[in-house]
Amino acid sequence: MVVLRREIGDVLRDARQRQGRTLREVSSAARVSLGYLSEVERGQKEASSELLSSICDALDVPMSLVLREVSDRVAVAEGLLIPDTVPADLTAAAGLPGGDRAVGGDAGWAMPRSELAPVG
């Protein structure tokens, strides 16, 4: 069974680690206790929408990208096919070139979607 809080925690931890930041740095910037942030990252605590917003702001990662990554992970766990592109109308609306996945301008957040190959 997929537990949403674990997927959210994994995505947040991955984002923090890709930035080379410590729990202490992010907890301070998000104004949340280090222990609580650790529990969120380990999927032991549910993050409220307000807390999730604060953590995303501290990581300088759009919440929409975090939620999209979580959604993709849940879909893979459910055995669904995930398209490996962003729809043209979305990239146009964001002012991005056709193949750029970095909505919000953070190219460091964009990840190749090769891990989301069709299941089954």
Give the pLDDT confidence of 5-46 residue by residue, as tens digits. Answer: 999 999 999 999 999 999 999 999 999 999 999 999 999 999
Tokens 């990662």, residue located? 61
pLDDT above 90 as % of the chain: 58
**Number of domains making up the chain:** 1
CATH number for 69 = 1.10.260.40
**Helix, strand or coil for residue 68?**
helix
Whole-model pTM: value is: 0.69
Question: 45, 5 in Cβ contact below 8 A?
Answer: yes
Alpha-carbon span 83 to 64, nearest angstrom: 17
Q: Is residue 16 part of a domain?
A: yes
The sign of the CA dihedral 75, 119, 12, 41 is positive
**Domain containing 39: what range?**
4-99
Question: 12, 59 in Cβ contact below 8 A?
Answer: yes
Q: Is residue 22 part of a domain?
A: yes
Q: Is residue 37 part of a domain?
A: yes
Q: Is residue 93 part of a domain?
A: yes
Q: Is residue 40 part of a domain?
A: yes
Q: Is residue 112 part of a domain?
A: no
pLDDT above 70 as % of the chain: 69
